Structure 1
Amino acid sequence: MSTVKTKAEHTVKPNPFNLIKMKSNQLDDGYLDKTPIFQFILLSILFPLWGAAASLNDILITQFKHIFTLSDFASAFVQSAFYAGYFIVAIPASLVIKKTSYKVAILIGLICYIIGCSLFFPASHLATYSVFLVALFAIAVGLSFLETSANTYSSLIGPKKYSTLRLNISQTFYPLGSILGIVLGKYLVFGNGPTLEEQMRGMSEAEQTIFAAEMLQKTLLPYKFLVMILVVALIIFLITEFPKSKPVKAAIENAKITETLKYLASNKEFLKGLVAQFFYVGMQTAVWSFTIRLAMHLDPTINERSASTFMIYSFVAFFIGKFAANLIMSKISPTKVLIGFSILGTLTALYVTFVHNESAIYMAILLSGLFGPCWATIYSKTLDVVKDKRHTETAGAIIVMTIIGGAFVPLAQGLISDMSGSLQFSFITAAICFLVVLVYSIDQLRHKNV
């Protein structure tokens, strides 16, 4: 007759590759009795790694628009290729986690991320928009493994009562990577002097081809730095011991994927969380995709490099917003914090849309600060409503799949910009998306999901 294992037996088996050990015990529900600090810090460092990749997309959108002569709608396909990778790979990533471990999925993610960055080298020589989109898709495959594993893992790697706070703390590292990505793009991709559009305006077709090739070579430089950082991260993760964080019941009774999908499809609270996360990620991606262009629109005297400074300010505001949200959550419930930030976010987005002076770009920066508690709070609360823990890994993957909002909402904003002839008016999409998050958070409060 089989017996349920006790807490003391849920320790990780010795592994010769695990040179850096941890001192925690796993509980029956997959959580730990205490958080292993070094492992938690190392896990949190993954968040800025995908933040850097995402923010470099904002640089690429601005660069590619003029080099490849794209409309706002077409330039937004940078985000579509990137986030489509997340959507397609999230479920396979969850199956890898279920069959192996979170650590294995992280190692696979880092390897794929390195491969994707390396594809920028042939892409810069072939010099076609579609090849760059393939490279971005490959990066997204790696990031999908990382996000699918790290978001859920961060919430599990310690006592259950602090799961939302842990994920919010890990997410606080994200904007540091975003700042790194923008700084690399600003100084390695963008140049001084007139804007790309002005420089190319007086050139012949042959001169434009040569100039475009030179500019595309500059896109390689940030990815060279990323590859070096990723290789170091891969080695450290390889030699560090991590807990399994798998519920005991899940280990005994593995649910089939069809059973899991049926369970999740019938869980209304889970579905509400997916909708909110879809609109949040779409809003965040769209705002950051067009912030540089908005700054240049409101102040025609600045070039791409100068305008990218506003993105640095945006990510600093995002960091401050996350840090402030964490502090407030120690006094007020996460749901109430989300409501407050959503109300201010909706009003701020409307200001950016309808006030036609340079103050609008500073309000766009504030808007980034108000994104602070959204992803982590929605993610944690959506995962919490999955009571049958056999479905945890797949549920986490499906929440990550809502990142596909980052593929569709920027396209919608680009289309609105093209059709209305006003880039600024297209920021109405942010107001609509923040309103959706507000409705979700009020509903959570009404159902006592504080």
Structure 2
Amino acid sequence: MNSDFSLGYATSGTSDASANLKLAADSPILRFMQRQREAVEFPFKENGDLPKRESVWLHSINANLLVPMHGTDAKLAGFFSLGEKKSEIPYTGRDKELLETLAHQIALVHENLSLKDHVRREQKIKIEVLSRFDEGNINLLKECPTCGRCFDRETEKCADDNSELTFSLPVERTIENRYRLEKLLGRGGMGAVYQAMDTCINRAVAVKILSGAMFGNKDALRRFEREAQTAGKLNHRNIVTVFDYGVLSTEGAFLVMELVAGETLSEVLKRKEKLDAETVVAWFGQVLDGVEAAHKAGIIHRDLKPDNIFVTRNEDKTVRLCILDFGLARFNEHEFTDSVTVPGTVMGTLGYMPPEQLRGEKVDERSDLFATGVIIYECLHSEKPFAGKTYQEIMRSMSKEIVLDENELFTEFFKRGLAQKPENRFASASEMKGGLLNSTFVINKTETE
């Protein structure tokens, strides 16, 4: 699953709770349905591993039977949520079998349409890539759509899985006659990240390249350059190191970074759903060390979220947390006066931004601390503290005081970490880390009593 889901419904007896609802790709309901291979009745006879908020929502739309839609790749394409039968007779085994068959057929149609859309996008990218190069012996990058491995232009099929190779970005296989792209590691809104080899010093690195659709976009190029300038000022074990930056002849840009093996915190949460208290304290002590280093350098990240925190293991098996992606970062200092962001513009990720950032107001260090508090809450509860998919829904959720369990070990921490007003939050990353360590003290004290 890599896209959001929209919910449509047709009934005469259901509440408006389901109208215009959009479920995020990482929604607990979707994660739960991904694991189901047949229709499941609700309320569940056993614990369905759903957070309370999702269970309450299913009750509010009178859900009685949930039917997953799985395609040939076993990925979830969607699901049915049905109420009770009008005859009030429970769903029979035959009913469920027919609904499962229908769901599978719909998933196949969705899969075919997605495949056709993918082919159209590939054709568009190929035309765009080639249009940015003059005729000549330029070694355009090709990559395998299955495994992500990179190849030279003349290669037609992947040596590992025999997949037909495709053009991806309008760049040469070896950038600046130095950085040879080896494998796609990930792709985001602004660009793609590749494992590469610095051929000058024989060092493995990560190379981030501006998305092909962004080539020639002056604002995107300036933001990309800002990321290089920002991260280049920082040298800390909990922040990924930037080595180099350059502009391409095809009006694109690239960023060369330290290559770290591991996974994002977002990927960890998809696999584990939530973390235990001791792990949260240990990991976020490191994250806050990195945040503090950035703040001391006069830099505010403005887009802290699980996707921008990387979890890796050192040679001695200890875990290291690194902060990524300073593309939206802002300097408190006045040395950079050419702001990329227009005042009043909302930049960041919904669900993690504090109220002042959502309103387009000035942000400071405490805005990053609020986002960190949201991530910590999500790690402990497998859901974010403020519900909503749209700007209006998030703001409405934030306007209500968050309900915290007074018996929870982190209650006092969240009262400050998720405070609506900046003046009521932790004043610094080091103070917030102290609040986490105090929670550790409470945990240890509880265990010994």
Do these two structures clear the TM 0.5 threshold for a shared fold by scoring above it?
A: no
Larger helix percent: 1
In the superposition, the TM-score normalised over structure 1's length comes to 0.27
Structure with more strand by fraction: 2
**Between Structure 1 and Structure 2, whose CA radius of gyration is higher?**
2
Where relative contact order (Cα < 8 A, 6+ residues apart) is larger, the structure is 1
